[in-house]
Amino acid sequence: MIARAGEVAFRRILVALDASTPSLAALEAAATVAAKWEAELLGLFVEDINLLQLAALPFTREVGFPSAIRRPIEPQDIERRLRAQARLSKQALARVAERFNLRWSFRTERGQIVTQLLEVAREADLIVLGVRGHRVAGRMPRGAIGQALMSAATRSLLLMPEDMRIEPPLLVIYDGTPSSRQALAVALRQAQDGLIVLLVAAPAEQPALAREAATLVQDRGVTASYRAVGADPAEQLRVLRDVPGGTLILGGDQPLARDELRKHLLDLNRAVLLIR
């Protein structure tokens, strides 16, 4: 994909896989984006070193279901389970890539999940991660990996809640900054049947901002609707909880992407694409 000067280009998309339902939803989303951008998919399975170290402790036990029998966790059992998950993840990636006619590759690494994701992400333009109700990637508390990546990743990041897809209308926060212009450009590239542009500015500035956004949208031939929102991030979050639509796209330098507000983005129960 050839991008205009100053725009984001997704050429290689990294998706975190572990054969869980959220990661498979993330894979589907990653393929949807890759098809739009003619990008390559890179699947990554991380053998969680914390899990392996925990299994090696002599007092670690697991409880069988439905027997409720407690038994020791053997490290070799964990190794086998991880290999099986990696195999299933690779097979899922191959199936989805074939369905979307995408180039793909798969890799298994051992270590800390976030550390390995950040390391491999150096080779990608976008990271895609699945999020579910109370846990992320099947192992850590909800939001832990997502928040860590939002803080540390230098690449764009797509967080996909369980049972969601990238569906129209997309939402984008536009405040006239270079970061928001990048977000709008990505939204226009990804949009199919419509786009909701949230115009973030003081009331006196909103008419000019609306004209500016409309010009950019018109250049791409996408149908869009516009909604004025105040500059207060709390107001923006209230609007985002109520407005219909699917994936939220925003720039990494915009107020809602700040450290103290990132958790609230995860609580919106919608896919979030953070552009960097």
In a domain, 100, yes or no: yes
In a domain, 108, yes or no: yes
pLDDT of residue 145: 87
Beta-strand ranges (E) seen in the chain are 12-16, 40-48, 61-63, 70-72, 104-111, 126-131, 135-136, 140-141, 156-161, 170-174, 195-200, 224-229, 248-251, 272-275
Phi and psi for 16 in degrees, rounded to 5?
-80, 125
Question: Do 243 and 212 lie in a common domain?
Answer: yes
Q: How confident is the model at residue 126 (pLDDT cuts 50, 70, 90)?
A: very high
Specify the higher pLDDT residue, 139 or 223: 223
Question: Do 135 and 22 lie in a common domain?
Answer: yes
Residue 28's domain comprises 12-161
In a domain, 153, yes or no: yes
Q: How confident is the model at residue 133 (pLDDT cuts 50, 70, 90)?
A: very low
Question: Do 191 and 58 lie in a common domain?
Answer: no
Whether this model's pTM surpasses 0.95: no
pLDDT of residue 66: 45
In a domain, 7, yes or no: no
Greatest CA separation found in the chain?
A: 67
Q: How confident is the model at residue 1 (pLDDT cuts 50, 70, 90)?
A: very low
Compute the average pLDDT of residues 79-87: 91
Question: Do 29 and 125 lie in a common domain?
Answer: yes
Question: Do 148 and 22 lie in a common domain?
Answer: yes
Question: Do 176 and 221 lie in a common domain?
Answer: yes
pLDDT(81) > 50: yes
pLDDT in tens, 24-41: 999 999 999 999 999 999
The residue type of 27 is L
Specify the higher pLDDT residue, 79 or 156: 156
